[in-house]
């Protein structure tokens, strides 16, 4: 896509849609942005654009609750390992074009997340295993994040399996996504893949993302979140499969 106007319209529409998904489901902004923009731009360009909208919207989600100190103490092994894992694999994303390992990894991550969420039943992590497994789960998620720009596998199912109250889960997801965004930005910056020129465009993308969140919160009162979520996941699955069909 070489027409600057068309590109700007695509970016604005993508972040509005991503904001709608986050407004309805409470998550999904980076996933939607990477899924759509990664289909037409390089994963590196898409990841650079999502940094500011993802950080600001998740910071808002992080601040909306009283449990931050307790969650930080409970989840710090997950957060620290994820940060380190993201830095380790950021070179894959920083060197990515529209085809290649990062695009394949992004397609696999989208398919895995969609299929798991559609097919898997509810899980529960036994308290005796929680602290022992946090670092491996965090490291695995960080490795996926650095290579694809997606923060969800396997940390989101893990957090959902801890038995947190709804408000605690929303705040825990906000904490994890905020730290993951900072880790991704740091990894791309260290690799020379996060350019100052993209920062302004990423900042501007926050406006349609916030507008989409407002629309999504309005829509949440008028549609079934479960039906909306299934449609969203099927869309992610199709986008991921399309990426896997590209020539390597």
Q: Has residue 242 been placed in a domain?
A: no
Q: Has residue 244 been placed in a domain?
A: no
Higher per-residue confidence, 247 vs 6: 6
Residue 100 has pLDDT above 70, yes or no: no
| Residue 85: closest CA among 145, 34, 27 | 145
pLDDT digits (tens, 9 = 90+) for 117-161: 888 767 788 888 888 999 999 999 999 998 888 888 889 888 988
Mean pLDDT of the chain: 83
Its domain, for residue 138, covers 4-236
Angle between helices 225-244 and 4-25 (to 10 degrees): 140
pLDDT digits (tens, 9 = 90+) for 160-179: 889 888 778 888 888 998 99
Here the contacts of 125-130 (C-beta below 8 Å, separation 24 or greater) are 125/158, 125/161, 125/162, 125/163, 130/162
Query: Rounded mean pLDDT of 206-215?
Result: 90
Query: Rounded mean pLDDT of 8-24?
Result: 88
Higher per-residue confidence, 63 vs 153: 153
The confidence score (pLDDT) of residue 236 equals 81
pLDDT digits (tens, 9 = 90+) for 73-89: 999 999 999 999 999 99
Token pair 């969203």 is at which residue? 232
Q: How far apart are CA 160 and CA 183, in angstroms?
A: 22
Q: Has residue 75 been placed in a domain?
A: yes
pLDDT confidence tier of residue 200, bands split at 50, 70 and 90? confident
**63 close to 71: Cβ distance less than 8 angstroms:** no
Q: Has residue 15 been placed in a domain?
A: yes
Q: Has residue 248 been placed in a domain?
A: no
**CA distance to 32, 184, 189, 210, 245, per residue, from 18 (Å):** 5, 18, 24, 9, 24
Residue 238 has pLDDT above 70, yes or no: yes
Q: Has residue 241 been placed in a domain?
A: no
The percentage of the chain sitting over the pLDDT mark of 90, rounded to a whole number, equals: 19
Q: Has residue 245 been placed in a domain?
A: no
Higher per-residue confidence, 101 vs 171: 171
Q: Has residue 216 been placed in a domain?
A: yes
**36 close to 169: Cβ distance less than 8 angstroms:** no
Domain count within the chain = 1
Residue 188 has pLDDT above 70, yes or no: yes
């Amino acid at each position: 896509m070489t027409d600057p106007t068309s590109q700007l319209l695509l970016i604005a529409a993508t972040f509005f849609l991503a904001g709608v998904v986050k407004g309805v489901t409470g998550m999904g902004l980076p996933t939607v942005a990477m899924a759509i923009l990664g289909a037409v731009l390089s994963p590196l360009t898409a990841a650079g654009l999502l940094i500011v909208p993802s950080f600001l919207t998740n910071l808002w989600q992080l601040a909306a609750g009283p449990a931050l100190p307790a969650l930080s103490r409970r989840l710090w092994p997950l957060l620290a390992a994820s940060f380190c894992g993201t830095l380790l694999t950021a070179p894959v994303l920083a060197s990515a074009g529209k085809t290649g390992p990062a695009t394949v990894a992004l397609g696999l991550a989208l398919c895995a997340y969609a299929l798991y969420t559609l097919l898997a039943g509810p899980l529960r992590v036994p308290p005796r295993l929680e602290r022992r497994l946090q670092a491996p789960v965090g490291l695995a998620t960080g490795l996926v994040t650095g290579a694809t720009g997606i923060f969800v596998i396997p940390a989101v199912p893990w957090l959902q399996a801890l038995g947190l109250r709804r408000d605690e889960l929303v705040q825990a997801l906000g904490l994890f996504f905020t730290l993951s965004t900072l880790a991704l930005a740091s990894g791309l910056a260290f690799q020379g893949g996060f350019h100052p020129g993209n920062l302004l465009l990423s900042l501007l993308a926050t406006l349609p993302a916030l507008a989409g969140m407002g629309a999504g919160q309005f829509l949440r009162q008028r549609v079934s979140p479960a039906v909306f979520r299934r449609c969203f996941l099927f869309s992610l699955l199709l986008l991921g499969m399309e990426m896997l069909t590209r020539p390597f």
